[in-house]
């Protein structure tokens, strides 16, 4: 059938739709928005994150992700959320090989209340292994832990690198971002 032709429909479709909406107690707008889905929300870019030598390990602030109110469709339920930390480049600044020291218990933690009780990503020893004075392209740490308890429509999820530290002088990550992948139904 060529584009632009009107096909006659038997019955009054608008009356049928109106009846269904009244029976379900919803609106057409809400019905159209309530679909299974996935959204990835990113933080603003943080210029740098310096991972110090492990003897000076510290909790390092990462950028927060704001889940704007109304981003998750009305009546939808978040069924899973995961975290990602990414950066554009990494620079190793010691005179020897360098990497994450996981013995210090390094984690990427998230929270919506400020307590940082939820681990999103666990770092293993020698993550970010680099040679002396190496400049490496960007990468990402992708979590598999479900952190949906730390994500809500209209809220801010804060991130921190817990006990961040490396073997030697430092590794500096440039253009750092955090991301939430939110699945809902």
Domain membership flag for residue 23: no
Q: What is the DSSP letter of 126?
A: T
pLDDT of residue 15: 62
Domain membership flag for residue 12: no
58 or 15, greater pLDDT: 58
Domain membership flag for residue 5: no
Per the document, the length of the chain is 185
Domain membership flag for residue 17: no
**How many angstroms separate the most distant Cα atoms in the chain?**
80
The string of pLDDT tens digits covering residues 64-79 is: 999 999 999 888 999 9
pLDDT of residue 171: 95
Which residue segment(s) compose the domain that 50 sits in? 35-184
Structure tokens at 133: 């004075």
Residue 96's CB: how many other CB atoms inside 10 A? 12
Q: Spell out the residues 6+ positions from residue 142 whose beta carbon is closer than 8 angstroms to its own.
A: 82, 84, 121
Give me the number of domains the chain comprises. 1
Domain membership flag for residue 3: no
Q: Give a three-class secondary structure readout of 13-77.
A: HHHHHHHHHHHHCCCHHHHHHCCCEEEEEECCCEEEEEEEEHHHCEEEEEEEEEECCCCCCCCCC
Q: Cα(100)–Cα(125) distance, rounded to whole angstroms?
A: 6
* Mean pLDDT of the 19-36 span: 68
CATH code for the domain in which residue 69 is found: 2.60.120
Q: Cα(22)–Cα(42) distance, rounded to whole angstroms?
A: 38
SS3 call for 129: coil
Domain membership flag for residue 119: yes
* Mean pLDDT of the 165-169 span: 91
Domain membership flag for residue 13: no
Domain membership flag for residue 55: yes
């Amino acid at each position: 059938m060529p584009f632009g032709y009107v096909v006659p429909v038997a019955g009054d479709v608008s009356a049928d739709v109106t009846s269904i909406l009244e029976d379900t107690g919803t609106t057409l707008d809400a019905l159209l928005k309530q679909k299974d889905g996935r959204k990835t929300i990113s933080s603003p870019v943080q210029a740098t994150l310096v991972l110090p030598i492990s003897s000076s390990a510290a909790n390092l602030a990462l950028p927060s992700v704001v889940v704007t109110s109304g981003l998750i469709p009305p009546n939808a339920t978040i069924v899973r959320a995961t975290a990602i930390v990414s950066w554009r480049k990494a620079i190793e600044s010691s005179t020897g090989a360098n990497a994450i020291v996981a013995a210090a218990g390094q984690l990427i933690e998230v929270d919506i209340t400020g307590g940082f009780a939820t681990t999103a990503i666990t770092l293993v020893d020698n993550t970010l292994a680099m040679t002396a004075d190496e400049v490496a392209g960007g990468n990402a740490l992708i979590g598999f832990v479900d952190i949906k308890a730390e994500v809500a429509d209209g809220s801010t999820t804060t991130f921190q690198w817990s006990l961040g530290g490396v073997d030697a002088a430092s590794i500096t990550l440039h253009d750092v971002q955090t991301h939430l992948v939110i699945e809902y139904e």
